[in-house]
Amino acid sequence: MERARSRVRSTGDGGVRWEDVASSSTLSGAGIDDVLRDGVVHSVFQPIVELDTGRVVAYEALARGPQGPLERPDRLFAAARAAGRLAELDAACRSAALTGAVEAGLQAPLTLFVNVEPEVLDRAPMEELLSIAQTAPGGLRVVLEITERALATRPAELLRTVERVRAVGWGVAVDDVGAEAMSLAFMPLLRPDVIKLDLSLVQERPGPVIAEIMNAVNAHAERTGAVVLAEGIEDEAHLRTARALGATLGQGWFFGRPGPGPVEGAVTGSLVLPSQRAETVTRDADVSPFACLPIDVPLRESPKALLIELSKQLEREALRLGETAVVAATFQEARHFTPATTLRYRDLVERTGFVCALGEDLPVEPLPGLRGATLAPGDPVRGEWDVTVLGPHFAAALLARDLGDDGPDAERRFAYALTYDRDTVVRATAALLARVAPRSEPLPAPAQAPAAPPAPVVPDPDRFDAGVLIAATGDTLVQGALASTPTGVSIVDMRRPDQPLVYVNPAFEKLAGLPKSELLGRNCRFLQGPDTDPTAVAAVRRAVDAGEECRVTVLNHRGPEKTPWWNELHLAPVVGPDGTVTHYIGTQVDVTARVDAERALVQERDRTRTYLARIEELAYTDSLTGLPNRRRLAEQVDTAIWNARAHGEAVAVLFVDLVGFKCVNDRFGHAVGDELLVAVADRLRGRLRRNDLLARLGGDEFLVALTGLPEATAAAEARRIAGELAEVVARPVSLREQEVTVRASIGVSVWPEDGADFPALLHSADMRMYATRTDPTT
């Protein structure tokens, strides 16, 4: 079976979002011709509300096919893709969304959210959609939603579409923010009016990842005035989380399920979007990054050697930012994309969100995962040296123009500026992305299709000190020992930029899962992954910065498949004649089996503790109602008495007996009787205060303990609450289409008047309960 091309995401409306489409060999184009010919695609509309006021300010259009196999949007779009008619279906869905909205009566001040399929971004019939929207009475405001899948697949088309949307006065929303880091990386470029938080952010427990996402989202919203919308709100807890995350708009079953039109009787309002700034991001492929520099920026002159080092520093900043960074670079000519550059950019591809490299004769994909484009002969970028790094909290760009000096390549000079002005970096990055060739199909994951190896890098003794401290000695015995040891051995040159590997033994090659030709010249960080403990990495960095020895066990990843393994790492510094650290020698041992055994032992201990805790819980809990039993209540009442004695308060115990329960059991059976006991327990629990205690004594008897009562009025308060409990118990209960009724006989005792401890209070309450049950006047 063919792999799914994209993830199908729940929308909280009982379906899936139509732009997230799965495909398989079992789906074909059969039936799609009829769907498109007959025009049976239609939309349902889910409300979007202001969280503070509850007013409906917008609706999202969700596509549906005709009743039958193609009704589900994932199957509908899979069939269209298989038949090569995706663009037609996408246009039909958006047309149906706007036409359906107009027919359903959606009009200003309401706003309509419409999705766009990434693969047809630059072919969307904007004029037709605009014409439909204008037929609504008073007009219809539209916000176009774009998913993170569009960001990496067709960046140039995406930026052009955003510009067209803004030109007609519509808004732009980025959907499912948080599901992929790519959405955070592209957010500064898109400047969305609405940021739609993925439903996982409001439905899952907060953690470091959610904190990172919300830092980026709130920073962008503060800078631009973008509106934050939380999806997947299904209950009060989700609503509280959405507000805490900074959302002002919400969507989900809590506010309403999708329907054929506006929610009847809903209070509506206007969605206020940030005003469109005059400084719209330049997305014209005719504009070069160097031309994006403000006219008053001073330019400097520099030889090529300095630009190389400045570029590497920006690349290191990008690696620090990780998956939320966009990196764009130019290389003038393909020959400047050297084997050493290949190694650096392979690391960038693995660890950042999006990387592109442009130059004369550079292929569409210079190496797996790196996006590129061949520059046209007259493109001004062919005469520039540009490197931009853009993230949620960081922006920097090296923008340089070749001065055209004759002479050796290494001596070429450039006019350049190094800028951290965010608007300039955004414009320069957009200018480069506008030239990136589209990717027609998402690349398979490395696990399914390992990346082709880059051009081999032959270690140059003058550049890499290959064998320094070892081969230079000519000691073949030492070399043989290092080659045969099962422990990985590596040497890092601390004097060179990015501290590359200059020696590895065969055991290290085996641990890394890569040959020496792909290891020398790289920084060891390529062994790390997103699940590597940052605390361990920080410990290594602190030791290296201080020039000290370090021992740490860290999670690394092996080979193109990124297989995890635990590395017991020992780093030792080598000091030169002047006292500075020149190299680090590292030894690596695979201790995965030991770590797994230790973790298994910890998990077994945790399971044992959980089992014992469960046994203890069962010993103190009534299995039918889930209430504490008499044993647990006795402990709780003893504690309450101690607290009451310290604060001058009183404690009351209520003995509750159900009158008529036996008749219910005899008439309807024990199953109905059990359901009645559960219902009574819920009613009693619902009436009591948060600090009051409730337990089941057994059979049809319950115990209540009222804590923190004023000593002077405790008895009267306890009798009042007993009366209210009797009232709620006496209400009819519907069980299995039968209506049953019981009443409660309740005896009350109060500490300290009626007893000094729980047994005494229980006995007193029991006697009074029996008295009220046999007294015909009660």
- DSSP string for residues in 239-300: HHHHHHTT-SEE-STTT---BSSSPTT--B----PPPPPSSPPP--TTS-TGGGS-TTPPPE
C-beta of residue 648 within 8 angstroms of C-beta of residue 716: no
CA–CA separation, 427 and 622 (whole Å): 67
Out of 138-152, 565-579, 590-604, 650-664, pick the least confident: 138-152
pLDDT at residue 623 in the model: 84
| Residue 389 pLDDT | 94
Q: What are phi and psi of 605, to 5 degrees?
A: -65, -40
| CA–CA dist 127, 141 (Å, integer) | 14
A 10 A CB-CB count for 690 gives 4
231 against 26, higher pLDDT: 231
Mean pLDDT lowest for which of 127-141, 226-240, 274-288, 746-760?
274-288
Residue 32's alpha-carbon distances to 24, 36, 459, in angstroms, are: 15, 6, 57
CA dist 497 and 604 (Å) reads: 46
Regarding predicted confidence, which is higher, 148 or 189? 189
To 10 degrees, what angle do helices 155-167 and 181-190 make?
Answer: 50
> Which residue is associated with the tokens 């994209």?
6
Over residues 119-129, mean pLDDT: 55
CA distances for 160 relative to 156, 163, 354, 433, angstroms: 6, 5, 18, 10
Average pLDDT over residues 319-338: 84
Tokens 């799965």 label which residue?
A: 22
How far, in Å, CA of 688 to CA of 52, rounded? Answer: 31
What integer best gives the mean pLDDT of the chain? 79
DSSP secondary structure string for all residues of 724-771: HHHHHHTS-EEETTEEE--EEEEEEEEETTT-SSHHHHHHHHHHHHHH
List, for residues 716-742, the tens digit of each pLDDT value.
999 999 999 999 999 998 887 788 889
pLDDT of residue 424: 92
Among the listed ranges 236-240, 319-323, 474-478, which one has the minimum average pLDDT value?
A: 474-478
The percent helix, strand, coil of the chain (3-state, each to 5) is 40, 25, 35
The Cα-based distances of 8 to 65, 259, 529, 755 in angstroms read 16, 21, 26, 64
Residue 486, φ and ψ in degrees, nearest 5: -75, -10
- As a whole number, mean pLDDT of residues 622-646 equals 88
Lowest mean pLDDT among 67-81, 379-393, 580-594: 67-81
* pLDDT band, very low/low/confident/very high, at 131 (cuts 50, 70, 90): low
Residue 677 has pLDDT above 50, yes or no: yes
pLDDT at residue number 1: 25
List residues bridging with 372 in a β-sheet. 357
Residue 393 clears pLDDT 90, i.e. is over it: no
Mean pLDDT of the 259-279 span: 73
CB proximity list for 19: less than 8 A, separation 6 or greater: 77, 115, 116, 117, 118, 145, 147, 149, 175
Residue 8, C-beta contacts closer than 8 angstroms, at least 6 positions apart: 16, 20, 21, 22, 74
| Alpha-carbon span 684 to 163, nearest angstrom | 61
User: Do 363 and 284 touch, CB atoms closer than 8 A?
Assistant: no
| Predicted pLDDT of residue 509 | 92
Lowest mean pLDDT among 550-564, 604-618, 696-710: 604-618
- Name the residue with higher pLDDT: 296 or 397: 397
Query: Do 439 and 426 meet the contact criterion of CB atoms below 8 Å apart?
Result: no
Express each pLDDT in 569-605 by its tens digit: 999 999 888 888 999 999 999 999 888 888 888 888 8
> In whole angstroms, what is the distance from residue 363 CA to residue 206 CA?
42
pLDDT at 531: 81
Across 55-59, 391-395, 478-482, 597-601, least confident range: 478-482
% of residues, the chain, pLDDT over 90: 23
Instruction: Collect all residues with Cβ–Cβ distance below 8 Å to 24 and sequence separation of at least 6.
Output: 1, 2, 4, 78
Q: Which two tokens stand for residue 326?
A: 């966009």
For the segment 168-216, what is each residue's pLDDT rounded down to a tens digit? 778 888 888 877 777 787 888 888 899 998 888 888 888 777 888 888 8
pLDDT band, very low/low/confident/very high, at 278 (cuts 50, 70, 90): very low
Q: How far is CA 558 from the centre of its chain?
A: 25
pLDDT at residue 216, as a whole number: 85
745 pLDDT tier (thresholds 50, 70, 90): very high
